[in-house]
Amino acid sequence: MTAVNITGLGVVSALGKGAQHHSDQLRSGVVGIRQHQIDQIVLYAGRVSYSNRQLSALCEVPFSQYISRTAWLGLLAAKEALGNLASDSKIPAAFINGSTVGGMDLSEQYFKAVSRGELGDTGLFQMHDLGANTDFIASNLVHFDYVNTLSTACSSAANAIMQGAQLISSGEYHRVLVGGTDALCNFTIEGFKALMVYDPELCQPFDINRRGLNLGEGAAYLLLESDKGMKESGNSCIAKLSGWANRNDAFHNTGTSPEGIGAQKAMRAAIEIARLSVADIDYINAHGTGTPTNDSSELAAMESVFGGQLPDFSSTKGATGHTLAASGAIEAVISISSILENCAFGTVGISHPMTSSKALLTRPKSKEIRHVMSNSFGFGGNSTSLIFSKNR
């Protein structure tokens, strides 16, 4: 099986832009979630500080009102991940993007105009489709021989990373850009409020008194290369993607089973693919949304898989917000940073931990980290676990 090397990282979220910046912010306990007014709604959310015009300037692409915020965020992070390959590449490459929101922010503008009795601009629908956002990002980068869009709710980007790893390990491609992007919009805000899982205050993952999640927005991508791909690009390996797995417990349309059956199976399979044991995992970046159901289910799953060897774990969503499809990629970048920095990041917002286990980190912990597991769980029980390993 061909090694899957990670040679580039790109990320933007409410914490800012860049992998090193995110690591510094998390070490300092910075929270990117703020109280915002989005249309007529006042809520806590992890909003990226750049306007769409600022994003277009950072991307060095002319601004257009018909380009979605999802696409602008994705292009910014993708350019950072590609680095000097953003304008030149010889090896056939693939691009796999995860998203759930797509151009909904623009579609909403049309419907608002119509609701006011105005004639809506149908051009606002050209980015509605998820694939249109992927195509826009791809068209402003290198030529890709294969482009795909995945939408599996909150595990979308993690599944994009997993599919990219499969393309590399099979030898089908030697360079694959993988990740995801999502922007805040009324559709998702109102949707999660309807599910009664939105926290009106700052969220508290893995706290006894957790009430729900805070939404966020952002994007992140990893550049995956085989040894052959690195030889052509001249890139260096930052870390390895050593294990990946997706499983589904099909328990409920939006919730996971109380025991986290799908999560258990995904974690066990990822460890097996990585040819590791549970004792080899040094840190888990948990899905940890802050909802009563998710956190109890995920903790039960981790305890079932790791037993008395539960490694240090935390959720970083208390700092970034839950960025939906992008969360798996943003947390992949954070997981890789934990290896590079030898630091397991803490869970902000905890006042009363839901477990007495010392494995639940409330603040950053310096330690040698060789292998990190990153969990991403989506609606319908779509559970994905990724394992990142130190390059040796």
The CA distance from 240 to 236, in Å, is 11
Catalytic residue among 22, 174, 287, 371: 287
Angle between helix axes 261-273 and 292-306 (nearest 10 degrees) is 40
Strands (E), 30-150: 34-38, 41-45, 94-98, 146-150
Q: Which two tokens stand for residue 255?
A: 């919730």
**Residues 6+ away with beta carbon under 8 Å from 41:** 186, 189
Give residue 151's region: left, alpha or beta (phi > 0; psi -120 to 50).
beta
In DSSP notation, 139-190 reads HTSS--SEEEEE-BTBTHHHHHHHHHHHHHHTTS-SEEEEEEEE---HHHHH
Confirm if 334 and 26 have CB atoms less than 8 A apart: yes
Alpha carbons 155 and 175: distance in angstroms, whole number: 22
Determine whether 371 is an active site residue: no
Q: Is 21 a catalytic residue?
A: no
154 is annotated as an active-site residue = yes
Distance CA 176, CA 299 (A): 32
Q: How many residues does the chain have?
A: 392
**Active-site entry in 154, 185, 203, 343:** 154
Catalytic residues: 154, 287, 322
